[in-house]
Amino acid sequence: PTSEHLYANTWAMNYLFQHTFGKQQGTITYNCTADITYARTWKVKQPALPGPNGTTIPQPDTQGSDEYPYQYKFSFERNYSYWKINNVELYSIEQAEMENYALPDGGRITLWPQGYTAPDLEMEHDEEVEIHVIPQETGEINFIPDVVAGDGYDPPEVPDDTELLKGIAEGQTGPPDVKNDALDFTWEGLTTKVMDGSTVVENGPDPTQIPAPTKIGSYKNTGEQVLYADQLLIPQDRLNRANTESTGEIEYALHPTTLGGSEGMTFPINSINSVTVHTPVVNYSLVSDDQPHNQKTVPNMNRSALILERPFTVRIPTNGQHLDAGAYPGYGDRDYAKYYRIKQVRFPFDVYSADRAQFYPRNTWIDIQVPVLDTTFYLPVWVDEGDYQVQFRNIAENAPSNFSTEPEIDAQPDANKDLYYHAASDEVSVEVIGRLYDFEITDIADYNWELVFRRFKNSLAPTWISYWTGTQDIDGDKRGNKPQFTVPIRPGSHPLQGYQNVAVKTGYHFKFDFKTKGNMFGPRDGIRLTPTFDFVSKDGSTRVPVDLYYSTNQRNFIRIGSTEDQVKRFVILNDRLRQVPSEQLRDTATYKYNRYGEIHPGMMSERAYQEYYRDKFTKMKTPVGGYSLLLMPEQLRTFIGPKTNIPTTASADVLRANAAIQQWYGEYSLPAEPYVVQAGKNLAEYGRTHGGLDAKSPIFLKDGYIVVNFNFESIREGNLAAPHLQYIHAPLMNQWLLEGFQRKVEDSYGNSFTLRDGDVVFYHADRSSRDDFSAQVPH
């Protein structure tokens, strides 16, 4: 990997040499001259003296003598031998150079010898024989020859003493002194006398030779670091490349003491290993799954849930499995952070940073700094609900410089195991999901409750009191209301003195609203509200599911939810007591005018449509179903999403952002005179076996309260078979509880009531709106 270090090491002979020595053999010729003087004697005849008789008297011979000089010339030889250096070359390591793609400084490194002392050479050499051969002096020949006595009358011949004299000369002349050339080799403190230049007699000693060099060991095997360099950082700009070739050469310097050498020597370094550059990155990214806020009826457990207007976290770890560490040491399952240039995530939808200071338009590659494991983003409300793929790419530090800015690059999933790739990618499946929340009761038609919701009797001026699901908001934070002002409306809910025991009389409707977020702005989107009924005793000790019956002028004892139950309910959105803000009506009209395509601009101006919508459309009666089922259509919906601070680069315009949060308005009531029967009891059979039925029949439960319980489901595109979100009964969470609904409450008398999620109103089982009207009949 880049950012890792290589070491370079070569091993070679620690020096090189060559030499040739010549044995010089010869003779010295001594040319001698000896001047010898011989003493000679010979007989000299003497004349006879006259003797008597004419005789002669012979005279004895006398002796003649002389000195006879004679010069001898002769020669003799003396042998000698000595050793001469014909050639000597010594080379020491000067440097080695190695080249490889992965090396720094242009891919080339010079290795200077370390801990290395070059060998030394001392030499004495001369070509002149006279320097090597020193003849001995013969000296004076001391020879006195015997007298040469002749027995004749002539001077005798002198003898030939040549050999004698030569012998004398040879005898007193020693062999010559000789001396070789001298050569000393020093290595690691040890000197070898390769050629001894001492003066010796006649024959110079045979030379030895320079000791054979040894090989420098490899660092790996011996730890030697003569030609070694480490901490060679592979530059970050080296792209991945397989089996890059290594070359090198080693240079030896010629020792200045040389005979016959002229320059240093260079040799290639063979069999250097190749280097593969492969900078690893992995990508095993995650996106948080916001299950605690996932209200889907059928959650997709294969996708992470991202909830509108909520934070979510992406986790981009730098550790994980890369190549098998057995085959590729150093890889394997580990942390690869040091090799990353940047981590990036791309959402196919708009996001904000966690603090909402930074907006990122959809399909923007967002940089995440390498040390950061978790990064939190915030999902804008205008993002369309649905399935998306979040893309991640982790870019290696040695990737081409433009990689982090290119919208599309080659990246390998999970890990860049193939070194063609300089990035690792991942993809996480997510689902963007909306919300269903903020149920509140805003008005009760029962006169006992008028001053709770109105400032004065017979006034429209609101107190703005409402009864929420609980004391917490959409995400469980404190809403600010007191527990008294939470559903269900029950004895103890009324804040005014003297009304502590008041619930709601049957026949009176209550107004409510709630909100949704997400893609609930279409013409066929709506809400299904399913009421169910329980009876609870006044002291709260018993609670049973019940069926409700009512009578009409045409038919008695119609069970709510039966085929005979045909009462239709209607709601007027822009009811004057509902007090829907005019801004909501105007915004909703604007969206419908521009997006529904129902109104051709040539038919009506936007302003005219807004007025039509406010004054006509929203004051029409909207059918919503009956007692047993409410289907709240788009006519009861307004848009309350944001209209300001929408980034100009957002995927949605202001209209779409405003439509992303919806408020739904409804109302509900029980029949004025319901008959309460424990669920499942056969009323007709009871009447048949008990002599008929009337309002006072014991089968009817009266001494307590009818609890109305709502189940809320959002319906997309009119698909009643597959409700989208659940307020209460989602498999993963209960929004009703998150908003602080209390499952146990007490009335003002200390009676404890156990509640069910979805309970909204307690109706008096024994008090009806008709009681109020009959009380007003003049007597």
Q: How far apart are CA 292 and CA 734, in angstroms?
A: 8
pLDDT in tens, 728-767: 999 999 999 999 999 999 998 899 999 999 999 999 999 9
Residue tagged 């014909």 (tokens): 86
User: So what's the pLDDT on residue 779?
Assistant: 34
pLDDT in tens, 400-413: 999 999 999 999 99
User: So what's the pLDDT on residue 695?
Assistant: 86
Q: How far apart are CA 657 and CA 645, in angstroms?
A: 10
For residues 738 and 475, is the Cβ–Cβ distance under 8 A?
A: yes
| Mean pLDDT, residues 702-709 | 97
Q: Is the pLDDT of residue 532 over 90?
A: yes
User: So what's the pLDDT on residue 46?
Assistant: 87
| pTM as predicted | 0.84
Nearest Cα neighbor of 362 from 388, 326, 398 is: 388
Q: What is the dihedral of CA 79, 82, 87, 89, to 10 degrees?
A: 170
Q: Is the pLDDT of residue 334 over 90?
A: yes
Q: How far apart are CA 271 and CA 175, in angstroms?
A: 59
Q: Is the pLDDT of residue 601 over 90?
A: no
Q: How far apart are CA 577 and CA 562, in angstroms?
A: 32
Strand partners, 374: 315
User: Binning pLDDT at 50, 70 and 90, where does residue 598 land?
Assistant: confident
Q: How far apart are CA 164 and CA 143, in angstroms?
A: 9
Q: Which residue type is seen at 22?
A: G
The pair phi, psi for residue 365, each rounded to 5°, is -75, 120
User: Binning pLDDT at 50, 70 and 90, where does residue 597 land?
Assistant: confident
Q: How far apart are CA 516 and CA 665, in angstroms?
A: 11
User: So what's the pLDDT on residue 774?
Assistant: 63
pLDDT higher at 597 or 628? 628
User: Binning pLDDT at 50, 70 and 90, where does residue 456 land?
Assistant: very high
For residues 377 and 354, is the Cβ–Cβ distance under 8 A?
A: yes
pLDDT in tens, 668-683: 999 999 999 999 999 9
Q: Which helix (H) or strand (E) holds 612?
A: helix 606-615
User: What pairing do the DSSP bridges indicate for beta strands 228-233 and 5-9?
Assistant: antiparallel
The CA-atom distances, in angstroms, between 66 and each of 60, 162, 285, 538 are 20, 21, 136, 189
User: So what's the pLDDT on residue 370?
Assistant: 97
Domain boundaries, given as residue ranges, for the chain: 5-201, 286-433, 436-775
Q: Across all residues in the chain, what is the average pLDDT?
A: 95
pLDDT in tens, 10-60: 989 999 999 999 999 999 999 999 999 999 999 999 888 888 888 888 888
pLDDT in tens, 171-184: 999 999 999 999 99
Q: Is the pLDDT of residue 775 over 80?
A: no
User: So what's the pLDDT on residue 600?
Assistant: 73
Q: How far apart are CA 155 and CA 617, in angstroms?
A: 184
Nearest Cα neighbor of 82 from 18, 20, 19, 22 is: 22
User: So what's the pLDDT on residue 778?
Assistant: 42
| Mean pLDDT, residues 176-205 | 96
For residue 44, the 8-state DSSP code is: E
User: Binning pLDDT at 50, 70 and 90, where does residue 724 land?
Assistant: very high
User: What pairing do the DSSP bridges indicate for beta strands 311-315 and 304-307?
Assistant: unpaired
pLDDT in tens, 200-226: 999 999 999 999 999 998 899 999 999
Q: How far apart are CA 525 and CA 531, in angstroms?
A: 20
| Mean pLDDT, residues 292-297 | 98
Q: How far apart are CA 499 and CA 487, in angstroms?
A: 17
| Mean pLDDT, residues 75-102 | 96
Strand partners, 366: 345
User: So what's the pLDDT on residue 561?
Assistant: 96
Nearest Cα neighbor of 660 from 476, 512, 525 is: 525
